[in-house]
Amino acid sequence: MHAINTNKEQALISIKNVGRKYVIGAEVIHALKDVSLTINKGEFVALMGPSGSGKSTLMNILGCLDTPTKGEYTLNGINVSHMSDDELAEVRNAEIGFVFQTFNLLPRNTSLDNVALPLVYAGISKTDRSARARKALENVGLGNRVDHKPNELSGGQRQRVAVARALINNPSIILADEPTGNLDTKTSIEIMGLMEDIHAKGNTIILVTHEEDIAQHAHRIVRMRDGLIEKDYQNPDIHTVSRGTKAL
């Protein structure tokens, strides 16, 4: 196992002895047992593990969608371990950009409106929202699709809209949950090329995937099993693809 750089001055995420248990009837399920993890600013990390490994629970905690039963989670200098749902929502909107397997776009909204949505919650004026959303769509190669609704876009284009939405608030982290799960091989490669472009610009990316070939785009791989980190190492065989933001 390769040593991981955990320079505290650069630490964006710090999880210490985190556990998460669920009580279902008379049964107690320890989804996470004792997890410690540091992710530095600018890293590209793949989080992997089989079903039941705890990776989805860890993703929910990293994304401030859930809180740990024990341990501490510090995100960009903020201790979020014991926040209320409303406080977590504020942190999510300010610090985290989400990209989901199912895109999670509003079907009746245009690409522009979907991308601008996080800015509504941030209290940005409509004029500024539109300008920033248009620029974000141009940056992912969809400047000519701003008025299209999701059903008028291909799967790859919908995921690009989702990526633009994730970037709109300049978040500390892009959290991508199986972002290529609903895409064909060619489109998956192009979306991962876009992710590499985003990382190259200095963004921190956490990629949750069960696909080995997708994980190989990350610079660091964290493998989980039975609620614990089984292996955490720098990827010696980073798989890069030709970059570009051509329309899909």
Tens-digit pLDDT profile for the chain (248 aa)?
434 444 445 699 999 999 999 999 999 999 999 999 999 999 999 999 988 899 989 999 999 999 999 999 999 999 999 899 999 998 998 899 999 888 899 999 999 999 999 898 788 899 999 999 999 999 999 999 999 999 999 999 999 999 999 999 889 899 999 999 889 999 999 999 999 999 998 999 999 998 899 999 999 999 999 999 999 999 988 876 544 444 44
* pTM score above 0.85: yes
Domains of the chain, by residue range, sit at 8-234
Q: What is the DSSP string of the chain?
A: -PPPP--GGGEEEEEEEEEEEEEETTEEEEEEEEEEEEEETT-EEEEE--TTSSHHHHHHHHTTSS--SEEEEEETTEE-TT--HHHHHHHHHHHEEEEETT----TTS-HHHHHHHHHHHTT--HHHHHHHHHHHHHHTT-TT-TT--GGGS-HHHHHHHHHHHHHTT--SEEEEESTTTTS-HHHHHHHHHHHHHHHHTT-EEEEE-S-HHHHTTSSEEEEEETTEEEEEEE-TT-----------
Per CATH, the number for 8-234 is 3.40.50.300
